[in-house]
Amino acid sequence: MEGRSLTELAEEQLTTAREAHSGRSAVTVYGGREHRLRQTLIALRAGARLGEHEAPPEATLQVLSGSVALHAGGADVDRVRRRPRHHPPAAPRPRGHR
């Protein structure tokens, strides 16, 4: 992924997500299982959901397009594009794209 535009990659993944039965698509931008840090670009078409999943204890979420609602442990948090947010342990995880 080195040298690729994040915006271009996001547009490609969103096109894939719109065509996918699940309504989502993802690609590792940096790292992987063998690295401590992993950056994953996740694209969700409008109305799609990313259910409960194993996630790192801490995460940063940056919405490049649209908005995302997060839900965990009864808490709801809405994120909108271009506002990065760090999610410490036990913080809400991505729920769906609106």
pLDDT in tens, 48-62: 888 777 777 677 777
pLDDT tens digits, 7-47: 899 999 999 999 999 999 999 888 877 787 888 898 999 88
Tell me the sheet residues that pair with 27: 41
Whole-number Å distance between alpha carbons of 55 and 20: 23
User: First and final CA of the chain: distance in angstroms?
Assistant: 27
Report yes or no: 44 and 97 within 8 Å, Cβ to Cβ.
Answer: yes
Collapsing DSSP to helix, strand or coil, 17 comes out as: helix
The pLDDT value given to residue 82: 56
pTM as predicted: 0.68
Taking residue 97's Cβ as centre, other Cβ atoms within 10 Å add up to 23
